[in-house]
Amino acid sequence: MATRKMRCMIWLLGAAVFTNAAANSEFDVQERSNRYPPTLEIENPVLTSKWIEGSDFVQVIEMVITNNNDQNYLTSADTLVVSADSDFVDLVSSGSLTRLAPHQSAVVQIGVKNKEGITAGTPCTVNITATYGQAYGSGVTAAATSTGNCGFGDYEASTSSLSNHWNPDWFNDVKFGIFIHWGLYAAPAYGSVSPNEDYAEWYWMRQHDPNYKTKTYQYHLETYGENFNYDDFMSNFTDVAWDPKEWMDLIAASGAHYFVPVTKHHDGFALFDFPTNISMRSSIHYGPQRDFIGELLATAKQYYPEIRRGTYFSLPEWYNPAYAEYAITWGGGFPGGPPVNPYTNKTIPYTGYVPVNDFVTDIQLPQMQQLAYQYETELMWCDIGGANNSTIFASEWLNWARDQGRQVTFNNRCGIPGDFDTPEYTTNSGTVSFKWESNRGMDPFSFGFNYQTPLDAYLTGEDIIQSLVDIVSKNGNFLLDIGPMHNGSIPEIMQRGLRDAGSWLETHGDGIYNTRTWSVTPGTGSIRYTKTADAFYIHYMDVPPLTLSISDPIPWLPGDTVTVLGGSQNGTVVPVTHSNGQYNLTLTDEILNGDQYVWSFKLAYTSDW
């Protein structure tokens, strides 16, 4: 199977030819025979670790197909079929492409299954052939060979074995997720916002630094007094306004297709259940005495089974006595405990701590296994890294999930390389081919709820949608965080932004979910692009001008239909004119007035030009 490095190469190789935009910018009426065939090349076909979702382990071979011809397009008239020949596998599903402009590339997948007698994970060779253009003569072929592993063998507890794992395609499809930071830090819900805000969920650590910009040390002293310890917030972290169905209804209304609640943050206070011989520091034994994660995931599974269920988990705990031997300064400091009162320096209890021999093997690993096997997470969203047993965790979990026919994924913060990268409160300025997910709060700089944040500083529906479109056009997912209040209620301002985003997604989803990145450019200025197998989407992140001019080599051909996607003018046909490499979409006032946040247009490959 291909390693992570090879996965990056696929796009880089493709990228080398992207810079040269289509030379054929004029669509003179020529005989068909003068404008076919295209010149296709198959690059880096890879036997991936993915199977076609819902299939009986049909293995995905993923490749990039590039059209190296200077002027001939691949269109549906060329009937491209990609197939495989091998002594090891049989072809189960062939690949196809209906449009490829000159000097552009597309990812194509085919599905194969081991022949009888070939053991899962066997090193193997598969010949790939793309055939096209038969309708106009003898036809043309392009060929390539893939070597890797056929079928899905066991992972071993090593980073080299785990580097063969790809994030499943469902993670490429879901695009928009809701992150939820809810824990003891929601009780004080404090981080000063001037001159710079800091994460409110870092309250306990900030309390130990009188000079820190958030002045949490001083705030706590004035508000609660020096004898009120952080763990005393357990009494004010309640379930009186918590309704898991309401949370899930809101997540569904936002248009998110996955969610990731914090199961245990750096304060070590968990919201899920595990054996009492490893720890009792959780909402099961203290405070509300409820299994919030269990109830939330069960509610999601019952009412919204199509929404993917993830779990955030902090590998270290700031003040766990057992973490002291692994203390790290990375990420703001994880010194280990026991904790001290920041005002008296006296050692204070670490509530719920059960003495163990080793933090990693006796607490961290069993808790992660609990989330994997008892809570059946689909996405392990680790944080911080540091001391870990994650090669053991991930290999056993991936093998177990495979045996159940489930494709799961984990991020890059488990202390080992992961399936995707996680830029935090930032995004990528261009397309990044290794899968990534940008995360941030609706708050300008906090994941946990912060009473100090003015209402007008929160992200609005418009902000969310514009960020989402930008991120998706560059191969990212957007994991947007909300911070519920101490009693489980979700602030109105967050609800409004999420519902507004959801109402846009309800009519524009075809241009977001399940799309892939265009090989040429994600767009510039206010324009962004996404695409699917049979359509190309143009997004304008502002009110567009009446003549929307595009200078990028969009794969439009005479006879294609461009329509408005979403809003009140959904389906309205948009005339396109073209000359000298410029495409003009002629819009109307109705179209401009008929939408909000981002205006989207669907270019359907209806032409067989």
Ligand X SMILES: *[C@@H]1O[C@H](CO)[C@@H](O)[C@H](O)[C@H]1NC(C)=O
Interacting residues with ligand X (CB under 6 A): 85-87, 127, 187-189, 236, 240-241, 275, 277-278, 344-345, 356, 360-362, 385-390, 392, 415-416, 485-487, 489, 507, 547, 549, 563, 570-571, 577-579, 582, 584
Take residue 127 and report the two structure tokens written for it: 């010949």
Nearest approach, Cβ of residue 190 and ligand X (Å):
8
Cβ nearer to ligand X, comparing 386 with 523? 386
- For residue 266, the number of C-alpha atoms closer than 13 Å in the C-beta half-sphere is 27
Using CA atoms, how far residue 71 sits from 190, 254, 526, 603, 607, in Å, is 60, 43, 28, 20, 16
Cβ nearer to ligand X, comparing 427 with 495? 495
How many C-beta atoms surround the C-beta of residue 187 within 10 A?
A: 22
User: H-helix or E-strand containing 578?
Assistant: strand 576-579
> What CA–CA distance (Å, rounded) separates 73 from 552?
16
Peptide bond into 37 cis (omega under 30): yes
Peptide bond into 338 cis (omega under 30): yes
**CB proximity list for 26: less than 8 A, separation 6 or greater:** 579
Cβ nearer to ligand X, comparing 486 with 539? 486
**Cβ-contact 58, 111 below 8 angstroms:** yes
Nearest approach, Cβ of residue 534 and ligand X (Å):
13
**CB proximity list for 308: less than 8 A, separation 6 or greater:** 170, 171, 174, 177, 257, 258, 259, 378, 379
Cβ nearer to ligand X, comparing 14 with 244? 244
The span from the first CA to the last CA of the chain, in angstroms, equals 39
Cβ nearer to ligand X, comparing 408 with 416? 416
For residue 561, list its beta bridge partners.
604
Nearest approach, Cβ of residue 275 and ligand X (Å):
5
Nearest approach, Cβ of residue 33 and ligand X (Å):
27
Cβ nearer to ligand X, comparing 119 with 579? 579
Nearest approach, Cβ of residue 73 and ligand X (Å):
19
Q: Specify the 3-state DSSP secondary structure of 49.
A: strand
Nearest approach, Cβ of residue 431 and ligand X (Å):
27
The DSSP letter of residue 55 is S
Q: Starting at the edge strand that comes first in sequence, how are the strands of the sheet with 582-586 ordered?
A: 547-550, 582-586, 576-579
Q: Specify the 3-state DSSP secondary structure of 87.
A: coil
Cβ nearer to ligand X, comparing 362 with 376? 362
Query: At residue 421, what is the residue type?
Result: D
How many C-beta atoms surround the C-beta of residue 345 within 10 A?
A: 7
Nearest approach, Cβ of residue 438 and ligand X (Å):
21
Nearest approach, Cβ of residue 429 and ligand X (Å):
27
The DSSP letter of residue 355 is -
Cβ nearer to ligand X, comparing 39 with 238? 238
**Cβ-contact 595, 569 below 8 angstroms:** yes
How many DSSP H helices and E strands does the chain contain? 13, 21
**CA 436 to the chain's CA centroid:** 6
Cβ nearer to ligand X, comparing 79 with 570? 570
Residue 375 φ/ψ, nearest 5 degrees: -100, -10
Cβ nearer to ligand X, comparing 435 with 486? 486
Nearest approach, Cβ of residue 487 and ligand X (Å):
4
Cβ nearer to ligand X, comparing 169 with 419? 419
For residue 477, list its beta bridge partners.
437
How many C-beta atoms surround the C-beta of residue 531 within 10 A?
A: 22
> What CA–CA distance (Å, rounded) separates 412 from 435?
11
Cβ nearer to ligand X, comparing 485 with 603? 485
> What CA–CA distance (Å, rounded) separates 249 from 304?
9
Cβ nearer to ligand X, comparing 259 with 504? 504
Cβ nearer to ligand X, comparing 102 with 511? 511
**Cβ-contact 518, 575 below 8 angstroms:** no
Cβ nearer to ligand X, comparing 170 with 230? 230
Nearest approach, Cβ of residue 59 and ligand X (Å):
16
> What CA–CA distance (Å, rounded) separates 486 from 287?
11
DSSP 483-526: ---TTSPPPHHHHHHHHHHHHHHHHHGGGTTT-B--SS-S-STT
Take residue 74 and report the two structure tokens written for it: 């691949």
Nearest approach, Cβ of residue 87 and ligand X (Å):
5
**CB proximity list for 277: less than 8 A, separation 6 or greater:** 354
